[in-house]
Amino acid sequence: MNIIFYLIPLGLVLLLAAIAAFFWATRSGQFDDLDTPAWRIILDDEKRPPGD
Amino acid sequence: MTPTTHCFHCGDEFSTEQAPTLVTIDGHAREFCSGACARIGRLISARGLDDFYRFRTDPAGRVSGTATHSDWTSYDRAGVQREFVAAEDDGSHRAQFLLEGVHCAACVWLIESAVAPLDGVLDIAVDPVTTRTNLHWASDRIPLSQIFEHLSALGFTPVPYTQDAAEAARRDERRQALRRLAVAGLGMMQVMSFAVALYLGAWSDPAIGEYLRLISLLVATPVVLYAGAPFFRSAWLGIRTRSLGMDVPVALAIGGAWSASVYNTFTGQGEVYFDSATMFVFFLTGARYLEMAGRHRALSLSAALSTHVPRVAHRLRGAVAETVGTLELETGDQILVHPGQAVPADGRLRDRRASVHESLLTGESTPVAKRQGDQVIAGSVNGGQPIHLTVTATGANTVLAQISGLSTTAAGNKPRLVATADRIARYFVAAVLCIAGATYAGWYGLAPERAFEVALSVLVVTCPCALALATPAVFTVATSALAGRGLLLRQPGALQAMSEVTSVVFDKTGTLTGDEIALAQVELFGALDEQQALAIASALESRSEHPIARAFAQSTATAEISDFNVSQGAGVEARVDGQTWRIGSYAYVDALTAAETSCAGWQETGDQRYVYLGSQEGLAARFALTERPRPGADEVVERLSALGLELQIASGDTAGPVQRLAHSLGIAQYHAGLKPEDKLEFLHALQARGERALMVGDGINDSPVLAGADVSIAMGAGTALARHTADSVLLGNSLLPVADALETSRRAMGIVRQNLTWAIGYNLLAVPLAATGMLAPWMAALGMSASSLLVTGNALRLGRAPAAPASKTASTSSCCATRKSALPI
């Protein structure tokens, strides 16, 4: 059971990493526009989409 | 009734009698209504971008040949670019602008596929909702003007957009809130998992319990102190200004739970409430984030819409006028303003006299006469001859800039109903604090060890967030749902005002009617009868691409024509059955006919448009033209009547056309020949009768009424002034969002009432339970959260399309299928 003395701090390190990553993402503007990316996925870059 | 079809590009209905222009798209010949639409269709097809027509969900906007800007080169000037272009380190540039004419994702695809391959364009990204466009390009390889030319050739007009300081501040606030939300959410999940272990008591080993508490403390502290900081700040502010806001009990509950838990952790006695505190912070932060995001969006959209001052000015250097950016102007410069253009800076008039529209400032729609030396303000529109000004103030110092600063502040104000909820909340908060205090005192007497826990439960469970959330959540969802359907709410109070509307007043020209022109009346002067005159007219117009020509598409057999000849802006001439005929303006036709025809009493009256037909033998006929109802107008009338609203037309037009339109749409009450002040008086009379009026209009002459009405909607294609004075703006060409707005506002108010009822009922039930100590703090936090989620979820129902009559759903929702509503005309 003593394993949790190591695992929980490890989990907290991961938590810190996740928060740091999120902070970086907001600073670099990735969350500024939440509408366009949703549309973009249905628009093909190819001039001829498949099924044509 | 003539057979009609829909233009493949803009979706507008037009008659097929006059042969439509055919363009091959994706292997099929498609029909296009006018020269401009067909030109764009050909351009799209020639570049292999036919898929635009397959992917699009809405028809493209109607293209008028004149709307396209001919000369974009002034946008290459550094002074013009200074406002909306930023240089990158590698020498490339980024520009931000809005694109008029973007309707759906397929437009975005079209723009990106057509512009991105241009040499020198590094990246272009268009937001289909706000039409905000980010362009990244290498300015040494392609000038900006060339990119703008490509865009306008596709039918999209770039409008430079400056991200002002307020916008940047909002962006930072949004990012900050998002970070707080992430910290609160991630922290809450961790603390929860430890709390479950603690509650279950899975470990009998007290050391592990101690350890879990310590870890919880470690995680919960940043959540409370960082993510929860806004609550403490706002609560402190509330206490200092002696106005108890919702944040006071919130801060008390969070702060109390956290500090008691910290104390208990170190003393090793009693309960810890880290889970309750973090959960509380997370849900409140989340709710506030959603509310803020909606508010910001409405604000930035309306800021973008209210650009009045032109980007480009004409500065005089001696006798030579040079085009410069408005920002380059300095006090003392001499500038020239052409008729119909907006004045770029405040200035003093140098000409002897001038007439300008200052309605932007005063609401007066009639032009104001100015004398030499008078001040002319930026944003007013030159209504007469070219005028010369000496600049007295520029940029942020102009009267207009100062006023729009004021209105931006006003736009940030909360809607009335939210304010009411806040006022109720203040008493509510005071009551909660009293109850919590009494509970603590009561329990302290009975069982001192439980007193804190029970008082905390009371604080948490009564947290008025269901009350505080109930209204803003509904407003946010309704606002964004309406924006998605093509109606922007500019004023926060608009939604509530719409739900209370009892009477809808429409302007006629430009509002109920669109650009489509129909034949209203034929007057004969010669030997021809009406059928013959129409046959000749339609034969003449069959080759013309002018919008007026569509009015003459007739079912009668077309005569043979030859020697077809167009005089730009005057009319057309051709030989029909061996005789030369002309159709067009009086002067043009009169030049062909012998001079003996009298023109007495034939002058143009009102805004009725006349077209004359004549041959060498004299004038034959005069045709009166009127506009056709806008697409969807009849459906809007039907749906509004179904809501039990009183519909009216208030028009400046003459009685004939107004009556015809009112009858064709089934509107019983109409008032013709009203001047702007008459309209306002008519409106006041309505209001005096106790009616709540919604005004829908487009013109400069409507703006006083738009401002005076209880709530108003301006056509997006209308004048900038009308858009500025109205509470909300229609984005597209259709009137349908008007009906959507009124229906949505009523449902929204219904949901607000449900939510408030729930919030009050919940508290009545929960407070006694908490005060008698039957709820642990975590149960209280859960109950509070569930209540908040219920309220938010209820509000989210508004975002879904209403259960409209089955046949209408396709045309009401913004992204379903190409509009196919046939107009019975």
The tokens for B86 are 């930023």
Domain segments of chain B as ranges: 4-55, 73-162, 312-397, 492-513+630-737, 514-629
SS3 content of chain B, % helix, strand, coil (to 5): 50, 20, 30
What's the pLDDT band for B550 if we cut at 50, 70, 90? Answer: low
CB neighbour list of residue B476: distance below 8 Å, 6 or more residues apart: B290, B291, B293, B294, B295, B795
Tell me which of 3.40.50.300, 3.90.650.10, 3.40.50.1370, 3.40.1110.10 is the CATH number of domain B514-629.
3.40.1110.10
Q: Are residues B538 and B17 in contact, defined by beta-carbon separation less than 8 angstroms?
A: yes
The more confidently predicted of residues B173 and B54 is B173
Q: Which residues pair with B624 in a beta bridge?
A: B521, B610
Residue B398 has pLDDT above 80, yes or no: no
Test the B interface: residue of A26, A31, A41 with most B CBs within 10 Å: A26
Residue A48 neighbours by CB distance under 10 Å? 10
Determine the pLDDT at residue A44. 56
Residue A41 lies in a domain: no
Determine the pLDDT at residue B60. 58
Q: Are residues B432 and B465 in contact, defined by beta-carbon separation less than 8 angstroms?
A: no
What's the pLDDT band for B552 if we cut at 50, 70, 90? Answer: confident
Residue A11 lies in a domain: yes
- Out of A19, A33, A35, name the one closest to residue B183 (CB): A19
Determine the pLDDT at residue A12. 92
Say if the Cβ atoms of A47 and B48 lie within 8 Å.
Answer: yes
Q: What is the distance between the alpha carbons of residues B212 and B619, in angstroms, rounded to a whole number?
A: 99
Say if the Cβ atoms of A35 and B129 lie within 8 Å.
Answer: yes
Indicate the fold that domain B312-397 takes in CATH.
2.70.150
Give the pLDDT confidence of B463-500 residue by residue, as tens digits.
666 666 667 678 777 877 787 777 877 666 788 888 88
CA angle in degrees (0–180, nearest 5) for B54-B59-B64: 125
Q: Which percentage of chain B shows pLDDT scores above 90? A: 5
Determine the pLDDT at residue A48. 43
Say if the Cβ atoms of A43 and B190 lie within 8 Å.
Answer: no
Say if the Cβ atoms of B219 and A8 lie within 8 Å.
Answer: no
Residue B657 has pLDDT above 50, yes or no: yes
Residue B563 annotated as catalytic: no
CB-CB neighbors (< 8 A) of B48 in chain A: 47
Say if the Cβ atoms of B127 and A36 lie within 8 Å.
Answer: yes
Which residue is closest to B197 within chain A, CA to CA? A4
Location of structure tokens 């309750």: B276
CB-CB neighbors (< 8 A) of A4 in chain B: 208, 211
Phi-psi sector, B358: left (phi>0), alpha (psi -120 to 50), beta:
alpha
Say if the Cβ atoms of A32 and B109 lie within 8 Å.
Answer: no
CB neighbour list of residue A50: distance below 8 Å, 6 or more residues apart: A44
Domain count, chain A: 1
Mean pLDDT across chain B, nearest whole number? 75
CB neighbour list of residue B46: distance below 8 Å, 6 or more residues apart: none
Q: Which of B371, B381, B329, B366 is nearest to B350 (CA)?
A: B371
Mean pLDDT of B8-25: 66
Q: Which of B419, B479, B463, B363 is nearest to B741 (CA)?
A: B479
**B675 φ, ψ to 5°?**
-80, 165
Distances (CA, A) of B303 to B306, B402, B620, B716, B779: 5, 14, 53, 14, 44
The residue annotated as part of the active site, out of B58, B507, B702, B727, is B507
Residue B216: CA atoms inside 13 Å, Cβ hemisphere, count?
A: 31
Residue B805 has pLDDT above 90, yes or no: no
User: Which class is B73-162 in CATH?
Assistant: alpha beta
Assembly ipTM: 0.83
Give the pLDDT confidence of B290-336 residue by residue, as tens digits.
767 766 765 665 555 445 566 677 888 877 777 777 777 888 888 88
Residue B661 has pLDDT above 60, yes or no: yes
Say if the Cβ atoms of A31 and B49 lie within 8 Å.
Answer: no
Determine the pLDDT at residue B368. 73
Residue A48 lies in a domain: no
Residue A46 lies in a domain: no
The tokens for B465 are 């967030």
Out of B173-182, B510-519, B547-556, B619-628, pick the least confident.
B547-556
The more confidently predicted of residues B471 and B720 is B471
**A31 φ, ψ to 5°?**
-105, 10
Determine the pLDDT at residue B3. 62
What's the pLDDT band for B809 if we cut at 50, 70, 90? Answer: very low
What's the pLDDT band for A15 if we cut at 50, 70, 90? Answer: very high
Q: Are residues B443 and B451 in contact, defined by beta-carbon separation less than 8 angstroms?
A: yes
Mean pLDDT of B104-111: 73
Out of A10-19, B191-200, B618-627, pick the least confident.
B618-627
Q: What is the distance between the alpha carbons of residues B650 and B630, in angstroms, rounded to a whole number?
A: 16
Residues of chain A whose C-beta is under 8 A from some C-beta in B?
1, 4-5, 8-9, 11-12, 15, 18-19, 22-23, 26-27, 31-33, 35-36, 39-40, 42-44, 47-49
The tokens for B600 are 């007495």
Indicate the fold that domain B492-513+630-737 takes in CATH.
Rossmann fold (3.40.50)
Q: How is the beta sheet containing B609-615 ordered, strand by strand? A: B513-524, B618-629, B609-615, B579-584, B571-576, B561-567
Domain enclosing residue A4, as ranges: 1-30
Residue B1 has pLDDT above 60, yes or no: no
Mean pLDDT of B649-657: 78
Give the pLDDT confidence of B278-289 residue by residue, as tens digits.
888 887 788 778
Give the pLDDT confidence of B557-569 residue by residue, as tens digits.
556 777 777 665 5
Helix (H, G, I), strand (E, B) or coil at B216: helix
Mean pLDDT across chain A, nearest whole number? 76
Residue B227 has pLDDT above 80, yes or no: yes
Residue A20 lies in a domain: yes
Say if the Cβ atoms of A5 and B211 lie within 8 Å.
Answer: yes
Determine the pLDDT at residue B707. 75
Note the helical H segments in B447-553.
448-462, 465-485, 494-499, 530-541
Residues of chain B whose C-beta is under 8 A from some C-beta in A?
48-49, 51, 55, 105-106, 108-109, 112-113, 125-130, 171, 174-175, 178-179, 182-183, 186-187, 190, 203, 205, 208, 211, 215, 218-219
Residue B71 neighbours by CB distance under 10 Å? 11
The more confidently predicted of residues B130 and B784 is B784
Q: Kindly give the interhelix angle for B165-200 and B206-222, rounded to the nearest 10 degrees.
A: 170
Give the pLDDT confidence of B152-203 residue by residue, as tens digits.
877 777 777 665 666 677 788 889 999 999 999 999 999 988 888 887 765 6
Helix (H, G, I), strand (E, B) or coil at B37: helix
Determine the pLDDT at residue B417. 53
